[in-house]
Structure 1
């Protein structure tokens, strides 16, 4: 069996997070006392309780950065270009995304913290993009 790169392990965990981040939103809309029917989704997001709306946005934010990051990690893997830089970038990106989601859903990550964490994730995407070109 060949070594399983940390970057792919982190990517696996990131995709599990992305595939699971819908759960807080669904719990929120299904426990909304203002809409006992809960049939129209997403409906008027601004009418939802603030944490439910933020959960929806946290999921979208993860997909916005997670999909490009995942593709870049897979490209680096295909090019056999993993380095210490990609190792630490993958780890940092995962924990930034966890912090962003938790902070956004709970409302703890307010201005300017939330955009700073999001921007740090974007920088990780750029670094992984650099790694693609460096491996070429």
Structure 2
């Protein structure tokens, strides 16, 4: 299965950016205590694996990578929108990330969705589509 490789490539790029920023990232199935400040929650959302050949040798991995931008509640949307724009620059359309002979490509521009207020944070979802073929 290549979902692990896809996750490693996408999260590796995000981790390097977040470390340099610095901004905490909540990873799937990892213990995380949300800070009072800004943070990002990263989620790989794979779709059904496809096979387009009659032999069944081909595998097409597609899905969404969602980056939920969380900023403290009550300060307006500007901080979240600025972070969303930075993420769109980090993951541009047609970006190809490689590991050996395997690669994953971003197949859509980043889309920013309406913000959702919570108890302590305002969350803006940012997501894009990816694809990898083996």
| Superposed pair shares fold, TM > 0.5 | no
Q: Kindly indicate whether structure 1 or structure 2 has the higher relative contact order, using CA contacts under 8 Å at least 6 residues apart.
A: 1
TM (norm. structure 1) is: 0.29
Q: Which has the higher strand share?
A: 2
Q: Which has the higher helix share?
A: 1
TM (norm. structure 2) is: 0.29
- Larger Cα-atom Rg: 1
